[in-house]
Structure 1
Amino acid sequence: MTETVPIETLTGSDRFNAHVARPDDDPTAAIIVIQEIFGVNAGIRRKCDNLAAAGYLAVAPDLFWRIEPGVELDPDIEEEFQRALDLMGEFNQDAGIRDIEATIHHIRRELGVEKVGAVGYCLGGRLAYMTAARTDIDASVGYYAVGIDQLLGEKHAIANPLVLHIAVEDGFVDKDTQKRMHEALDDHPRVTLYDYPGVDHGFATEFGKRRDEEAAKLADERTAAFFDQHLR
């Protein structure tokens, strides 16, 4: 079952919507699905459906709500891709993390699910790293996260497990950045990095030309095992 639910901000002064997919049975854990720059679109909703089918409560907050509520863009349409880049430039990432934290509180207090993980893609991958460093999320996964080299100073605040999936041929994350990520994080006791040779940014998208089936299947299997270990 899917529905749209309102979530109160941390200050209690406003509300934003989240797409929620519920499993058939009562969930023992929840996973926040953090959007790409394309909003809570069909691909993100499919991610939620897949997690609900695996028994999780899946919640995808609309993080662009302060700019434009209800954004749904297709990365394979050039005009919509450019609009997504514009939204990325307007987006306040610190406010986004506060909205993710509000979503964690909502899941625990209002929905009664104590264990909460997060998985994010692209911008959401970066926000998954920030969530691991700035909140008490139980476990986090970031796919092809952008700009992590700018956030390595926060690594000491990561107290719970984090996985980062790295596209080796990522057009938005060059090899030098990937090297800095490995140098800073490989010895972190809570962080695991996986490299996917030969694939580009967006390889695990549910729809469209960016998807690489083999790499997506491997990354998703690793993610599923990770959440089984840390959230079940």
Structure 2
Amino acid sequence: MTETVTISTLDGDASFSAYVARPQGTPKAAIIVIQEIFGVNPGIRGKCDKWAAEGYLAVAPDLFFRIKPGIELDPDVEAELNEAFDYFGRYNPDDGVKDIEATIHWIRQQAGVPKVGCVGYCLGGRLAYMTATRTDIDASVGYYGVMIDQMLGEIHAIARPLMLHIPTADHFVGPEAQAAMHAALDDHPRVTLHDYEGLDHGFATESGTRRDEQGAQLADGRTAAFFAEHLA
């Protein structure tokens, strides 16, 4: 079952919508699916539906609501890709983490699911990292997160398990940024990094030209095992 719910911001001054996919029966845990720069589009909703089929409550908050509610863009359409980059340039990720924290609260208090993880892509991968450093979420996964190398000063605050998927040919996260992430995080006891040789940004998208089927299945299998372990 799927529905759209309304979640209040932490300060209570605004609210935003979230796509919710519910499993049959009692959820074994909840997973927040954090959007790319393309909004809560069919690909993000599809990821929620997959998690619900695996027994999780899946929630995808509309994190661009302060700019424009209900954004849904296709990265394979050039005009929509350019529109998404404009939104990315205007977006404040500090607000995003607060909205993810509000979503965690909604899940635990309103939906009644105590164990919560998150998985994010692109911008969402960065937000998954920030969620791991700034909230009490139980487990976090980031796919091709951008600008994480600029936030490595926060690694001391990672208290719960974090997994990052890093495609080595990511044209948005270059070799120097990847090296900085490895140097800072390889020895961290709560962090796991996986490299994907020769793959590019967006390789685990649900559909479209960016998807690499073998790489996506490998990364998604690792993510599923990670959540099975840490959200049990």
- Fold agreement, TM-score > 0.5: yes
Corresponding position of 2:19: 19
Corresponding position of 1:91: 91
Corresponding position of 1:64: 64
- After superposing on structure 2, the runs of 4+ consecutive aligned residues of structure 1 that deviate more than 2 Å are none
Does residue 40 (structure 1) correspond to residue 40 (structure 2)? The answer is yes
**SS, match of residue 64 in structure 2:** coil
In 1, the alpha carbon distance for the partners of 2:223 and 2:96 equals 23
Corresponding position of 2:109: 109
In 1, the alpha carbon distance for the partners of 2:84 and 2:13 equals 27
Does residue 140 (structure 1) correspond to residue 148 (structure 2)? The answer is no
Corresponding position of 2:100: 100
Corresponding position of 2:174: 174
1:106 deviates by 0.4
**SS, match of residue 214 in structure 1:** helix
1:44 deviates by 0.1
Corresponding position of 1:49: 49
In 2, the alpha carbon distance for the partners of 1:160 and 1:212 equals 29
Amino acid at match of 2:83: R
Amino acid at match of 1:25: G
Corresponding position of 1:226: 226
In 1, the alpha carbon distance for the partners of 2:209 and 2:184 equals 32
Gaps of 5+ in 1: none
1:14 deviates by 1.3
1:90 deviates by 0.7
Deviations 1:109-138 (CA, angstroms, capped at 9, x unpaired): 011000000000000000000000000000
Does residue 199 (structure 1) correspond to residue 191 (structure 2)? The answer is no
Corresponding position of 2:78: 78
**What is the RMSD computed on CA atoms of the aligned residues?**
0.4
Matches within 5 A, 1:119-158: 119-158=119-158
In 1, the alpha carbon distance for the partners of 2:33 and 2:224 equals 13
In 1, the alpha carbon distance for the partners of 2:74 and 2:16 equals 22
In 1, the alpha carbon distance for the partners of 2:209 and 2:24 equals 32
Deviations 1:149-188 (CA, angstroms, capped at 9, x unpaired): 1000000000000000001000000011101100000000
Deviations 1:174-204 (CA, angstroms, capped at 9, x unpaired): 0111011000000000000000001100000
Corresponding position of 1:211: 211
Amino acid at match of 1:26: T
Gaps of 5+ in 2: none
1:80 deviates by 0.1
Amino acid at match of 2:59: V
In 1, the alpha carbon distance for the partners of 2:13 and 2:83 equals 28
Equivalenced residues, count: 232
1:212 deviates by 0.2
1:28 deviates by 2.2
